Chains A and B, each alone.
Chain A
Amino acid sequence: MQASPPAGTGVCFSAARRWRMAETVFWLAAAATFFGLPGYHLLLTEIAIIGLFALSLDLILGFAGIASLGHAAFFGLGAYVAGLLGKHGWGDPLLGLAAGAGSAALLGFLTSFLVLRGSDLTRLVVTLGVALLLGEAANQAAWLTGGADGLQGVEIAPLLGRFEFDLFGRTAYAYCLVVTFVLFMVARQIVNSPFGLSVRAVRDNALRARAIGVPVNSRLVAIYTVAAAYAGIAGALLAQTTQFVSLDVLALHRSADVLLAVVIGGVGYLYGGLIGAVFLKVLQDVFAGLTPQYWTFWIGLVLVVLVLVGRERAVAGARDVVRRVVGIRRRTS
C-alpha cells in the first residue's frame, strides 16, 4: 500500500452533506408563511401535504429510478387508516400518523416485490393496478369506508392533548409544516448516507451495483417501503386536517398530480417535490379560478408543454430565474 494522504480531508463527499444557507432561508420562509399569511393556512396546509407526498415519490422515482403511476395507493391507505381511527374514537393525531405510516409501509413492503422485476412499463402497470385495486376495494367496502359518499364523522383529538384543530387551520398548518420538515430532514439524511448512495448506484447501473456487492433487491425493497410510509403519513395528514376521506385519495389523478409536482420541481432533488407542490397548488388555484370544472385541461397542457420543452431544460431554466431573483444556490444531491 502507498502512504495514505492526510486522512479524511473531507473533500470528496462534503458537497452533499453541508447544510447550505439557502436551505435555512427556504425553511425560514416556510415558517414565515405561518405568521405572515394567516388567511392562506388551508391552502398552505394542502401544499405541505402534497409536498410531503411528492418528496415520497421522489425517493423512489428520483433516487431509485422506479416510475410509479400508483403512488396514491399508499397515500390513500394512510388517509383511510387515520380517518377510520379518528372515526372510531382513536383520534390522537400522532397515533393516526403512526398507523397510517405503518399500514402504508406494510403495503409498500408487500408490493415492492412486484416492482423489482420487469421493465418500466410493467412497473407502471403494476403500480397503477395496485392503486386501482385499492380504489375498487374502498368503493366496494362502503360499510367501512363510506364508499362514494366518503368517510364522514372523523374526529381528531387535540394535538399533544393541548392544541385544538381550529376552523382556520392554524393548528393544522403548524402540524403539517412541522411533520413535513422533520420527515424532510430524515429523507435528507437517508439520501446522503451510504444507504442513499447505494440506492443511487442501483438506479444508475444495477449491473455494476451488484458487482460491488450491493444487494440490489433488498435496497429497492427498503427504499420503496420507506417511500410508502412517507406517502401514508401524507395521506394521514390530509385525513386529519380535513376530517374527511373520499375515494378521490386513491384516484389516478392523485398519482398523476404528484408526478407532476415532482417533475415541475425537478426529479432527484429533494427540494424539487416541495417547490413543485407550491407551483402545482398555485397553478391549480389559478386554473380553477379560470375554468372551475375544467382545470385538469390546463394541468394536462402544462405536462405536455413541460415534456416537449424538455423537463431538464424547463426546470433548470426556472431554477436559474429563481437563483437570480433570490440570489441563492441550492442543491442537495
Chain B
Amino acid sequence: MLTILFDGIAYGMLLFVLACGLSVTLGLMNFVNLAHGAFAMAGGYVTTILMNRYGVPFLATLPAAFLAPAVLGVALERTLYRQLYSRSHLDQVLFSIGLVFMAVAAVDYLMGSQPQLIVIPTWLQGRVDVTVAQVGIYRSFVIAVCAVLVVTLQLVLTRTRFGSQLRASVDDPRVARGLGINVSAIFATTFAVGSGLAGLGGALGAELVGLDPTFPIKFLLYFLIVVTVGGTSSLTGPFLASLILGVADIAGKYYVPAAGAFVIYSLMIVVLVFRPNGLFASAR
C-alpha cells in the first residue's frame, strides 16, 4: 500500500516537472501549447544519446537535457510562437499539434520507433526495505530532485524580482511595459525554463515511464489534466493535481489493471464537469 503511495508520489512529482512549464505558458500566458511534450521528449533523447552513444554518465547528461530543450524552446518562441500569442485558441491548437506531428515523425525517422533504454547508475538501482514499505532508490532520487525544483520554482516566482515582473507582465502586459519591464524577454525566459524543465523531466522519466517517439502524444492528456484540473492561478494547484494524478494512476493500474487508464480519464471528466476552472481554482 505505502509502496504504491510512494511510487505514485514519485510519478506525480515527475509529472509536475514535466507539466509545470505548460501550466505557466497556458495559465499565465494563455497560450495553448500542445507541443509541450515534444520538449520533454527532446530532453529524454538528449540523455539517451549522450549515455548510449558517447558514454556520458547519467547525472552529467541532466544539465544538457535541461539546456537543449531550453535553447530549442527559446528559438521557437522567438521565431514562431510569439506570433501566435494574440491568435485564437484554435489557431494555437492547430499550430502546436502540427509541431507534435512533425516532432514525432522526425524523431521516428532519426532514432527509430523502438523504445529507448537507458541504464541508470548502479548506485541508483534497487529498492530498500524501510519497515513499512519498499522504497525504490531511483524513485527517491527523482522525488528529491523534483522537490528541489518545486521549492526553487516557488521561491523564484514569489520572492524574486523576476517572479514579480513575470506576474506583472501576465496581469497586464501593457502596464508592465509602461513600467519598463521587458515583457517579451520575460516571456521568452519563462518559455525557455518551462521547456528546459520538461526536458529534464523527460530525461528523469525515461527510466520510469519509457521513451519513444509517441511520447508527446501519450502524455498530452496527462499534461492537460494537470493543468486543467490543477487550475492555472498558481503553481500549487498543478502540483497537487500532479500528485493526485500520479497516485491515482499508479493505484488504479495496480488494483484494477483491467480498467487501465479509465480511472484517470473518468476522474478528470468528473472534476471538470463540476469544477470547469479546475479543482483548485481561486476566484481570480
Q: Classify A-B as touching or not with yes or no (CB < 8 A).
A: yes
A: residues with CB less than 8 A from B are 61, 67, 69, 113-114, 117-122, 124-126, 128-130, 132-133, 136-137, 139-140, 252-253, 256, 259-260, 263, 291, 293-297, 299-304, 306-308, 311
- Closest approach, in angstroms, between the C-beta of A279 and any C-beta of chain B? 15
- Docked Cα-Cα span, A215 to B56, in Å, equals 64
List the A residue with the shortest CB-CB distance to B95.
A307
Residues of the A chain whose Cβ atoms lie less than 8 Å from the Cβ of B84: 307
Q: Does the CB pair A117–B276 fall under 8 Å?
A: yes
| Bound CA span A263–B95, Å | 11
B31 to chain A, nearest CB (A): 10
In the A-B complex, list the 7 residue pairs whose CB atoms are closest, starting with the nearest. A303-B98, A300-B101, A118-B276, A297-B105, A300-B102, A304-B98, A307-B95
A120 touching B89, Cβ below 8 Å: yes
- Contact assessment for A311 and B89 in the assembled complex, using a CB-CB cutoff below 8 Å: no
Contact in complex: A307, B89 (CB < 8 Å): no
Note all chain A residues with C-beta closer than 8 A to B221: 125, 128-129, 132
Docked pose: A147 CA to B105 CA in angstroms: 25
Shortest CB distance A145–B (Å): 14
Interfacial chain A residues near B260, Cβ < 8 Å: 136, 139-140
Q: Which of A67, A129, A296 has the most CB of B within 10 A?
A: A129
Q: Pick the contact of B262: A61, A122, A133 (CB < 8 A).
A: A133
B265 touches A294 (CB 8 A): no
B interface majority secondary structure: helix
Shortest Cβ distance from B270 into A: residue: A114
The answer to whether B102 and A304 touch across the interface, beta carbons within 8 angstroms, is yes
Contact present for A294 and B109 (CB under 8 Å): yes
Complex CA gap A325/B249 in Å reads 56
What is the bound-complex CA distance between A130 and B266, given in angstroms? 9
A130 to B276, CA, bound (A): 15
Do B276 and A119 touch across chains, with their CB atoms under 8 A apart? yes
The 10 sampled A-B contact pairs (Cβ below 8 Å) are A69-B93, A119-B277, A125-B224, A129-B221, A129-B272, A136-B265, A140-B260, A296-B102, A304-B80, A311-B91
**Which residue of chain A has its CB nearest to the CB of B232?**
A121
**Taking A293-B108, A297-B102 as contacts, is the C-beta distance between A303 and B94 under 8 angstroms?**
yes
Kindly list chain B residues whose C-beta atoms are within 8 Å of the C-beta of A303: 94-95, 97-98, 101
Q: How far is the CA of A56 from the CA of B72 in the complex (A)?
A: 37
B201 CB to closest chain A CB, in angstroms?
20
Smallest CB-CB separation from A260: which chain B residue? B94
Indicate with 1 or 0, residue by residue over B216-248, a CB within 8 angstroms of chain A CB atoms.
010011001100100000000000000000000
Interface of A is mostly: helix
- Distance in angstroms from B282 CB to nearest chain A CB is 16
Cβ contact within 8 Å between A128 and B224: yes
Interface residues on B, range: 35 or more
Could you say which residues of chain B place their CB within 8 Å of the CB of A297? 101-102, 105-106, 109
A136 adjacent to B102 (CB under 8 Å):
no
Q: Does B32 contact A (CB under 8 A)?
A: yes
| Most chain B beta carbons < 10 A, residue from A124, A301, A304 | A304
Q: Tell me the residues in window 72-126 of chain B with beta carbons closer than 8 Å to chain A beta carbons.
A: 80, 83-84, 87, 89-91, 93-95, 97-106, 108-109
B261 within 8 A of A: yes
**Contact (A133, B105) CB under 8 Å given A263-B94, A307-B84, A307-B91:** no
**A125, B272: Cβ atoms under 8 Å?**
yes
Interchain nearest-CB distance for B267 vs A (Å): 10
Residues on B with beta carbons closer than 8 Å to the beta carbon of A118: 272, 276-277
Q: Specify which of A295, A299, A303 lies most central, judged by the most chain B CB atoms within 10 Å of its CB.
A: A303
- How far is it, in angstroms, between the C-alpha of A136 and the C-alpha of B263 when the chains are bound? 11
Asked if A136 contacts B261 (CB within 8 A), the reply is: yes
Binary flags per residue of B261-284, CB closer than 8 Å to A gives 1, else 0: 110011011001100110000000
User: Shortest beta-carbon distance, B26 to chain A, in Å?
Assistant: 7
In the complex, residue of chain B having the shortest beta-carbon distance to the beta carbon of A70:
B221
Separation of A130 and B89 alpha carbons in the complex (Å): 20
**Contact partners of B94 in chain A: CB under 8 A:** 259-260, 263, 303, 306-307, 311
Q: How far is the CA of A67 from the CA of B97 in the complex (A)?
A: 14
Are A300's CB and B265's CB within 8 A?
A: no
Closest beta carbon of chain B to A250's beta carbon, Å:
13
| Shortest Cβ distance from residue A77 to the other chain B in the assembled complex, whole angstroms | 16
Are B269 and A308 touching (Cβ within 8 A)? Answer: no
Indicate if the CB atoms of A129 and B259 lie closer than 8 Å. Answer: no
Contacts of B268 in A (CB 8 A): 125, 129
* Chain B, Cβ-Cβ closest to A61: B90
| Minimal beta-carbon separation of B53 from chain A (angstroms) | 22
Residues of B within 8 A of A302 (CB): 98
Which residue, of A122, A300, A304, has the highest number of chain B Cβ atoms within 10 A? A300
Q: How far is the CA of A118 from the CA of B106 in the complex (A)?
A: 35
Alpha-carbon gap, A236 to B261, bound state (A): 26
